[in-house]
Homo-oligomer: A and B are copies of this chain.
Amino acid sequence: MGIEAELNIGKPLDPGHELALSVLLTREHLTRLLDERVFKPAGLTDQQFNVLRILKGGPAEGYTIGEVRRRVISRSADVPRLVDRLVGIGLVARQANPRDRRSCHVVLTPAGEASQAEVAPAHAAFLRELEGLLSAEDRVLLVALLDQLRVGIRGLGEPEGGA
């Protein structure tokens, strides 16, 4: 289904608008289904899962808040309070950092490990389903085009000429 039909837009869109809406709408469908299938059944939000996943893949001593921030998808995520909430439900813990008392290390608790281990299979299964929606060739092409678009967008955001 084209975008115009999905959003009940009568007129044809200009190319840039169509491109932008394609990205936004695809993300919308993707996160909706991910929430419904994977995150909500586990009682987590997507961002919470993302933090657990990051910590799971990180070093045993954990990451500082800033290191987590550099690894989350949303650059503007409010990581301190995201961690607050995860501490509140017992999935992660803050550990004082003796080397720099401004920062702390965030680590998974045993409950956090368990939660991660519980969700990970559903997450991986979903991503395999997603992968199966396109041919390998199309998927590689799509990823490359999105990469190209992202690089271009970053360029628009930083029009600071060289030299």
> Which residue numbers of A lie inside 8 Å of B, CB to CB?
1-3, 7-11, 14-34, 36, 57, 67, 70-76, 124, 126-131, 133-134, 136, 138-139, 141-143, 145-157
Contacts and interface: CB of A to CB of B under 8 A. Distances in A.
Contacts of A70: 7-8
Contacts of A138: 145, 148
Nearest to A72: B7
A145 B23 CA distance: 10
Contacts of A126: 16
Copies in the complex: 2
Contacts of A128: 14, 16
A160 B93 CA distance: 42
A67 B8 CA distance: 9
Given A2-B147, A17-B127, A27 B24 contact: yes
The 6 closest A-B pairs by CB, nearest first: A16-B127, A133-B152, A16-B131, A27-B27, A22-B146, A142-B145
Contact of A149 (B34, B127, B142): B142
